[in-house]
Amino acid sequence: MTLNLNSMDTSTIDPLTSDVFDIIVVGAGVVGCAIARQFTLNGARVAVVEKASDILDGASKANSAILHTGFDAPINSIELACVKKGFEEYHKIHKDLNLPIEKTGAHVVAWNDDELGKLDGILKKSHQNGITDTKIISAKQLAKKEPSLGKKAQGAIFIPNESIIDPWSAPYAYLKQSIINGGEVFLSCEVISGEFDRKIWQLITTRGTIKSHFIINCAGLYGDKLDQDLLGKTKFYITPRKGQFVVFDKVGASLLNSIILPVPTARTKGVVLCRTIFGNLLVGPTAQDQKSRSDSSTDEKSLKELINAGVEKLPALKDMPITATYAGLRPASNFKDYQIKEELGKNYITVGGIRSTGLSGALGIAKYVYKVYLGLGKKHQKIIHPKIPAIAPILAQNYKRNWQEKNHGKIICHCEMVSEQDISSALTGSLKARSLAGLKRQTRATMGRCQGFYCSAKIAKMTQGLFENPIASDIKKKKNPKEDISNG
C-alpha cells in the first residue's frame, strides 16, 4: 500500500526518532549492511530500515556462499569493478572481523565438445578482467585434482582464488561494525512512502516517520517498487529469479576439493557443485523467473533435476543422503549489469539489480556507492580509529568452534554442534535474533541432518516469549521437513 502524502498531514504521524540522519539505507541485505558500514566508517550518521524482524531476510538469505574473483563478470561492467574490489576488501578485513574463508579454487568444467570449445573465450575474458592466474587444464589433469568427478569431463579452466565463505556472518559483522561506530538499525520497519523537500527526506514507515538528508535504496527484490513509490518512476524492473538448491550430507563434502562451475549461459551462471564452509556439499541453483517476490518454495521436479545433475557430474552422490533443500530469489532485472544510479536533485541513490554476485560484490558496491556520493559534493569526517565489534561466532566446519571451548554449556543442536552459549549469544546484543530464521543464520541450529527434530523443543523453550512467531508455529507451517533456508 502506498499512502498519498499530498492528501494527508504527515506531522500527525509519530516520529520513529527525532534525529535527522545523514543517510537512510533501505534494506538490510548483504549490500545494505556493507553500505551502512562504509558510510558509517566515513563519518556519516547512518540509519538502516528493514521491513523484516531480522536482517538478511530477502535475497541475501539463500545463495551459494562463494566469494568470486570476477573472472567471468561482464567486461568493463560496474559488476566487475565491484566484485573485484569486494574480493580484495574481504581479504583485507576478514581477520579483524573474525570472518572465515577457505581458498578452494574453482574449475569451470566442460562436459561436451560444445562446452570445451567455449573455454578459450572464457579464459580470454578472465584475462581481460584482470584475473590472469587462470588457465586451461586437460581432462587428465582435472581427474588428478578431482578424482570423483564423472568421466565425461573433457577439460576445465582452473581459477585458483575462488573461495567459500559464511554468507551470513559477514553481513552481520558489517552491520555490527556500523552500529558500534554510531549507526542505527530499525527492524520490522517497512517503508510505505516518503517525501523530499529539497533538503530533507521524510519516510513514512510502519513504525512511524524517520528523516534523513539522503536515501540509498538497497531494497533488493523490491528495489524498483521503492523507486516508484519514492521517486514516482523507476529505470529498471525486477523479475525475481528463483534458485533452488540441494544440500547433501557432510560425508559428501569429501568428494570435492574445489568449486565445480559450469560453462555459463547468457542467462545464468548455471548449476554449481561445491563444498560449503559448514561442511556439506551443495548442488544448485536452478534459474526460474517468476512473478512472486516472496515465493521461495521448492518443487519436486526441479529438485530431482538438480539431484540428477549432481549425480551425473559426481557419481558418488547417487546414494548420498540429502540434508536439506531450499530456494532463494535473486533480484534479476531487465539489465545484465548492476543498476547503481543517483537521482540528481533528489539526494537519492538506487542500488538495484544485484543478482548472483551480491555476496562477493557487497564491499565493493559499498565503495562504489560512496564514490558516487562524494561525486555529488557530499562529505563527512572519516573515523580515524573505528571500533571493531565483538568477535563474531565462527560456524565454519574447519575452524575452531564454540563447542570446542571450555564452559560452552550444553550442546543443544548435536547435528551442527550448536552450544547453549551459541544460542544465548544470538539472543542478545544489537542484532539479536528475533525469529527462528534469524537464529538459524546466527547459529545454524536446526539446520543439520535431523532438521530440528531433536533440538527444536529445547530451542523453543530457550526462545519462549522472544520471537514474534513462536518456534512451534513456525515448525507447524513447514510442509517439507527437509526444506530449509540453509546454505548447507
pLDDT tens track for 113-154: 999 999 999 999 999 999 999 999 999 999 999 999 999 999
Residues 48 and 191 in one domain: yes
Residues 157 and 248 in one domain: yes
* Overall number of domains in the chain: 3
Domain harbouring 215, CATH code:
3.50.50.60
Residues 457 and 422 in one domain: yes
Residues 371 and 457 in one domain: no
Read off the C-alpha cell for 205.
Answer: 514507515
Q: What is the extent of the structural domain holding 125?
A: 103-164+240-330
What's the rounded mean pLDDT across residues 458-462? Answer: 94
Confidence of residue 485 (pLDDT cuts 50, 70, 90): very low
Inform me whether the pLDDT recorded for 481 exceeds 60.
no
Inform me whether the pLDDT recorded for 6 exceeds 70.
no
Check if the beta carbon of residue 204 is closer than 8 Å to that of residue 228.
Answer: no
Inform me whether the pLDDT recorded for 2 exceeds 50.
no
Residues 220 and 364 in one domain: yes
Give the C-alpha separation, 366 to 89, whole Å.
Answer: 11
Residues 130 and 252 in one domain: yes
| Listed range (5-9, 30-34, 347-351) with the worst mean pLDDT | 5-9
pLDDT tens readout for residues 62-76: 989 999 999 999 999
pLDDT reported for residue 268: 62
Residues 362 and 291 in one domain: no
What's the rounded mean pLDDT across residues 444-472? Answer: 91
What's the rounded mean pLDDT across residues 248-270? Answer: 88
Residues 282 and 415 in one domain: no
Confidence of residue 409 (pLDDT cuts 50, 70, 90): confident
Q: Which of 104, 108, 112, 106 is nearest to 151 (CA)?
A: 112
Mean pLDDT for the chain? 92
Tell me, yes or no, whether 342 lies in a domain: yes
Tell me, yes or no, whether 317 lies in a domain: yes
Residues 50 and 118 in one domain: no
Tell me, yes or no, whether 224 lies in a domain: yes
pLDDT reported for residue 4: 42
| Listed range (157-171, 265-279, 464-478) with the worst mean pLDDT | 464-478
pLDDT reported for residue 264: 83
pTM: 0.94
